[in-house]
Structure 1
Amino acid sequence: MWPFDSYPEIKLDDLLEQYDFIVAGGGTAGCVLANRLSADPSHTVLLIERGPRADSWAARVPLFSSDFASDGSRTLKRHSEMQTELGRPLLLFSGGALGGTSRVNQMLYARGLPAEYDSWADAGRKGWGWKDVEPYFIKSERALDLKDEGVHGMDGEWRNRSLGDFQFKGFNHAVAASEAIGLPYIPDINSPTHPPFGCGRLYFTIDEKSKRNSSYHAFLPAPLARARQGNLHICTNVLVEKVDVERLPDGRCVARGITLLSQAGPNPEKRKHVRAAREIVLSAGPFGSPHILMLSGIGPSEHLKEHDIPIVKDLPAVGSNLEDHFGVSVGFFIPVQDSLVSLRTQPLRFLIELIKYLVWGTGWLLGPVLQLAIFANSRMLDSTGKPTKLEKASGEKLPDIEIMPMAYASHDEPTTLDRGMFSFLNVLLHPKSKGSVRLSSADPRAQLIIDPRYLSHPDDYAPLRASLKLSLRLRDEMRARGYGLEDWLQPSSESDADLDDYIRRYNRTTYHYSSTCRMAPEDDGEGGGVVDDELRVYGVENLRVADTSILPRVLGTHLQAPAVAIGEKCADMMLKSKQQ
């Protein structure tokens, strides 16, 4: 802990009997909600987080705090069910401390394309078109590099920046290769006017002092938490056992409070009921929010009956429609000095980079192993994987594949550390495969049954085949321009059969889980809905959900910035609603 950074957390025994607003889940969106709802000192707000605050020096260093380099104390790790198409389960990661996944992710700040949000509006999601959501991105943002007026926010709490020049030699070669085969450089991937296809530098939620700027650090820093401790209570290491719902004589169901279960201290079985005078909002993430709903009797009735949970509202879409960006890696050997591997194998290199960071806030500890993204649509690629000019006539507005070059391995297989590594992670942005989140028990401490059902829809193979071919064409171009990429992990041939075998073998989650409490009509034909356009849970008054579980479909981008915008928009809707 930082000794000078006292933080006013409150213990379970000291909670008030009632708060105006209760935020269940202190993750990426939950910290935003707690900030905005408590800005008016007349509003009492309780923020509940199942994990610890877990703040330390290493937890703020960008590279060290990313999960693959951390001690795991801020991460919830769960095994999926056996994946039939893959022949194995996958390890699923999400945030496990105050700030949620923004504490352990790769810190990418990417909003997504306006056309995708506009497609929501076209489907009837009132208030969710690009012009509706853009102000919420701008409100929270403080762009440290880009000063485009009207595009980026300059006065928000949440910092983002580039890393300056690319830190690894391979990235410059990847940009040159991308441009050479017809995918132009995009100066600002967050500008609403940028082309949908091309390569662009990534931006990261890192502050002026070269520290990770998670949603916890941005929206609930210690000075703010201390200043608001009269009306904002932050309680960590506590589980939400259920939402307490009252059924009125006229048949309406109203969320009245929550039951909490301690996870720490001398009495870990201690429970407490806390009432909500106005509203409860769940922001526990795409696994946690449906978990709480089902424990509360809101979900698929037959499943809840299996666990003897009384039915409050039969809502089949709760925990259904789970989507994720599925990734497939190709890898190459490069000189070890060009790869992050050298930090682990060369003590002098590590010492040099540590000094750079400590003295100047620069160097390899400043950022992750990915700093560039390449976007394309598989329909604009020819049979060899090269872009054609057909995209101008195809009418495609959105990429369906993203390739992320990395100066390290980008798959889950054990790797050698005696060679430098460079890889392309091929990401399926709009999967058709859908999975589910289900209970294993009515005990809130029990593990969830999570089944993403990766590759269960056969249409997911074709875009991934095209992306793998595009990666290999980028490899060819990088080699032709003098950057040696030695073969390591690639398909044995470019036939459909060999590509499909490779896809099933060298893959991973990209941790972009979504849509388990999707925003759609309750009887929507695409899988049903859980919340309406104001994120209110169907059939239960005074209860909302605000995190990436509400996405109608997984966005074709990284989900950190959209999660914050969802928190901003939900808080705004709650504050504007009439007091019950």
Structure 2
Amino acid sequence: MWPFSPSYPEVSVDALHEEYDYIIVGGGTAGCAIANRLSASPNNRVLVVERGPLADTWASRVPLFSSDFASDGSRTIKRTMVPQRELISATGVQGDRVVEAYTGAVLGGTSRINQMLYTRGLPDEYNKWESEAGMKGWGWDVMKDYFLKSEKAEDAVEGVHSQDGVWKNKLHTAFYFRGFFEAVQAAKAIGLPYIPDLNSPTHPPFGCGRLHFTIDEKSQRHSSYHAFLPKDVALARREHLHICTNTIVERLETERTALGELIVTGIALGPREEGKGGRRSVRAKKEVILSAGPFGSPQILMVSGIGPAEHLKELGITVVKDLPAVGSNLQDHFGVSVGFHINMSDSLLSIEKRPWVFFLELIRYLLWGTGLLLVPVLQLAIFTHSKLLDNRGIPSKTEKAFDETLPDIEIMPMAYDSTDSAATGVSIPRTAGTYSFLNVLLSPASRGTVRLSSPDPRAPLVIDPAYLSNPADLRVLRASVKLSLRLRDAMRERGYKMVDATVPKSESDQDLDLWIRRANRTTYHYSSTCRMGRQDDAEWDGGAVVDERLRVYGVGRLRIADSSIFPWVPRTHTQAPSVAVGEKAADMILSDNLV
């Protein structure tokens, strides 16, 4: 027992050992899980390098105060992406719209700033990783066990949820706003059934249901950091687990063996901000695991000379491995909003407009752990496949068997304005309560890139998600927007007052396409920039970066484990799949390094 309560045992760069068995680059959503599993044995010396701070304050644990739209910036890195050719900006000009990407830059990564959604997706998502991407061992029968391994659900359901893990999730006990209840009734009225548990592997690819959130029994955000690397774990393992924050990996250090094999031998470290610390190198005896996220992982590879050869040569970087897929195949779940005015008391806007409401909600949270500070702005998901919808956006009533096993549309009702108003110029006037449907493209055909602007690892990246670059995405989004308007109609028929505020001029293809190009946003689900797959897969730019064991092609002692390895962006929220990847990666690493 400690005679006092010591602080979190972070280790400075100067105090690091010369060598570790495993070096994990990035203490984010997946990286924390990997670090926990690799350091479970005191025989493994493990180093975690995180570019962000610990930043574990009371406010950072309150769901509302810590979410992406409320973050003070201390836990977030903002990246400005290149102007999008297919989108329209607030000036009304197509081609100059700039979208900003937000990811976590803190121990725990994006799980510290996101909306805390815990969804896994349907079994066929992972079965396709095996059957279509050719990645043996990634099917649902295997992945299910990794989801269950980490999970500590408030309510266990045999075969669906587990209470044996360390990462907590729960359902809100009831809908906080009437608009969610009305949306469920509207969905059922037009043929989309209510699903009691969206994480059940047996539900159909269409319907609606309440969402699980990574919130603990104290009503606090339960991030990957809080689950896998909390203070008690870090203290108990401080002799063999070192956690170094506010530090970046400037490059991977590589060499050729006597047989000509390229291997990673360690990392070169430096301060997050130039001039605010020293530099040094640390060796890896066994492996380096990149878990720096969909932007950080390809960046570290490229500044180290691993990536598209021509791009690296243009920047004067010595190419040690030509790997064209690095930084390619970027995908995101593109969202399009439609918005309405509702009663102020039925909207999260009431906190901003009525100070006494915020005060009462703060008291509710402090005393009982309930209320609007849990961020119940989003509690419900409605999903289907565009092929199931007729020309008006209504699910088909025919008896024909539905042959799609996965959805391509998700509609998220929100008791708030879901537009990116500053960049688009589209926003619901705050003269009454706000309510919106965010139409999310789950299976985008468009793909973008991540490239370097400089060999300097601190320089901004050139990120181009290439939204709507494939016209097939417009067809799906048209169907989704129509469906959201049919939900509105059904809610009105039940007597729920909704006044159109930000909707398309009409439902013609021309007006819908114009709206899709204007009223849109990122959903922060960036993926696939170091994708797992076959190198000879001509369907994807450059094929792939890692094999089925997450080993980088042509580079020994190096793996990648984060959302960048998804063969394509999964048709679900990406937090839980990222942790499952981390769990599986840790098992493979330990298995492959048995002596």
> TM-score, normalising length from structure 2?
0.95
Q: What aligned pairs does 1:231-242 form with structure 2 within 5 A after superposition?
A: 231-242=240-251
In the other structure, the counterpart of 1:141 is 151
Distance 2:267 2:448 in 1: 28
In the other structure, the counterpart of 1:262 is 271
488 and 446 in structure 1: CA distance in 2 versus 1, 3 angstrom threshold? same
Distance 1:360 1:320 in 2: 47
1:150 deviation in Å?
2.0
3-state secondary structure, aligned to 2:69 = helix
3-state secondary structure, aligned to 2:181 = helix
1:449 deviation in Å?
0.4
391 and 524 in structure 1: CA distance in 2 versus 1, 3 angstrom threshold? farther
Deviations 1:217-236 (A, max 9, x none): 11000011000000000000
In the other structure, the counterpart of 2:592 is 577
In the other structure, the counterpart of 2:490 is 477
Q: Could you tell me which amino acid in structure 1 is paired with residue 11 of structure 2?
A: I
Q: Could you tell me which amino acid in structure 1 is paired with residue 368 of structure 2?
A: W
The partner residue of 2:347 within 339, 356, 362 is 339
Whether 2:351 is the aligned partner of 1:359: answer no
In the other structure, the counterpart of 2:76 is 75
In the other structure, the counterpart of 2:92 is none
The partner residue of 1:561 within 576, 585, 592 is 576
Q: Could you tell me which amino acid in structure 2 is paired with residue 209 of structure 1?
A: K
In the other structure, the counterpart of 1:152 is 161
Distance 2:564 2:402 in 1: 31
3-state secondary structure, aligned to 2:213 = coil
> TM-score, normalising length from structure 1?
0.98
Q: Could you tell me which amino acid in structure 2 is paired with residue 74 of structure 1?
A: R
Distance 2:556 2:402 in 1: 45
3-state secondary structure, aligned to 2:329 = coil
Deviations 1:326-351 (A, max 9, x none): 00000000111110101011011001
Q: Could you tell me which amino acid in structure 2 is paired with residue 423 of structure 1?
A: S
In the other structure, the counterpart of 2:90 is none
Contact 1:380 1:389 in 2 (8 A): no
1:269 deviation in Å?
5.0
Contact 1:163 1:367 in 2 (8 A): no
Q: Displaced runs of 4+ in structure 1, greater than 2 A? A: 389-392, 414-418
1:361 deviation in Å?
0.2
Whether 2:226 is the aligned partner of 1:217: answer yes
In the other structure, the counterpart of 2:410 is 402
179 and 4 in structure 1: CA distance in 2 versus 1, 3 angstrom threshold? farther
In the other structure, the counterpart of 1:467 is 480
Distance 1:272 1:158 in 2: 34
Q: Could you tell me which amino acid in structure 1 is paired with residue 154 of structure 2?
A: L
3-state secondary structure, aligned to 2:401 = helix
- Is the deviation greater in 560-569 or in 391-400? 391-400
Whether 2:140 is the aligned partner of 1:127: answer no
Distance 2:418 2:589 in 1: 41
| Structure 1 alignment gaps of length 5 or more | none
The partner residue of 1:300 within 297, 302, 308 is 308
1:369 deviation in Å?
1.1
In the other structure, the counterpart of 1:283 is 291
467 and 511 in structure 1: CA distance in 2 versus 1, 3 angstrom threshold? same
Whether 2:119 is the aligned partner of 1:106: answer no
3-state secondary structure, aligned to 1:83 = coil
- Is the deviation greater in 502-511 or in 386-395? 386-395
Q: Could you tell me which amino acid in structure 2 is paired with residue 125 of structure 1?
A: M
The partner residue of 2:536 within 523, 527, 533 is 523
Distance 2:521 2:588 in 1: 36
Q: Percent identity?
A: 63
1:525 deviation in Å?
1.2
3-state secondary structure, aligned to 2:20 = strand
Distance 1:122 1:263 in 2: 41
Contact 1:5 1:222 in 2 (8 A): no
Contact 1:62 1:368 in 2 (8 A): no
Deviations 1:252-286 (A, max 9, x none): 10110000011269x52521100000000000000
Distance 1:273 1:571 in 2: 24
Q: Could you tell me which amino acid in structure 2 is paired with residue 505 of structure 1?
A: R
3-state secondary structure, aligned to 2:328 = coil
Distance 1:170 1:72 in 2: 31
1:470 deviation in Å?
0.3
1:391 deviation in Å?
7.7
Distance 2:329 2:547 in 1: 16
Q: What aligned pairs does 1:402-481 form with structure 2 within 5 A after superposition?
A: 402-414=410-422, 415=427, 416-481=429-494
Contact 2:176 2:376 in 1 (8 A): no
Whether 2:319 is the aligned partner of 1:311: answer yes
Q: Could you tell me which amino acid in structure 1 is paired with residue 127 of structure 2?
A: D
Distance 2:56 2:399 in 1: 47
1:492 deviation in Å?
0.4
Q: Could you tell me which amino acid in structure 1 is paired with residue 385 of structure 2?
A: N
Whether 2:557 is the aligned partner of 1:542: answer yes
1:390 deviation in Å?
4.4
Contact 2:286 2:593 in 1 (8 A): no
1:34 deviation in Å?
0.6
Distance 2:178 2:363 in 1: 21
1:4 deviation in Å?
5.4
The partner residue of 2:527 within 478, 494, 514 is 514
Whether 2:379 is the aligned partner of 1:371: answer yes
Distance 2:439 2:6 in 1: 41
Q: Could you tell me which amino acid in structure 1 is paired with residue 586 of structure 2?
A: A
Q: Could you tell me which amino acid in structure 2 is paired with residue 283 of structure 1?
A: S
Contact 1:171 1:372 in 2 (8 A): yes
- Is the deviation greater in 11-20 or in 189-198? 189-198
Distance 1:458 1:83 in 2: 14
Q: Could you tell me which amino acid in structure 2 is paired with residue 523 of structure 1?
A: D
Contact 1:66 1:368 in 2 (8 A): no
1:523 deviation in Å?
2.1
1:63 deviation in Å?
1.1
Distance 1:514 1:164 in 2: 32
Distance 1:69 1:212 in 2: 14
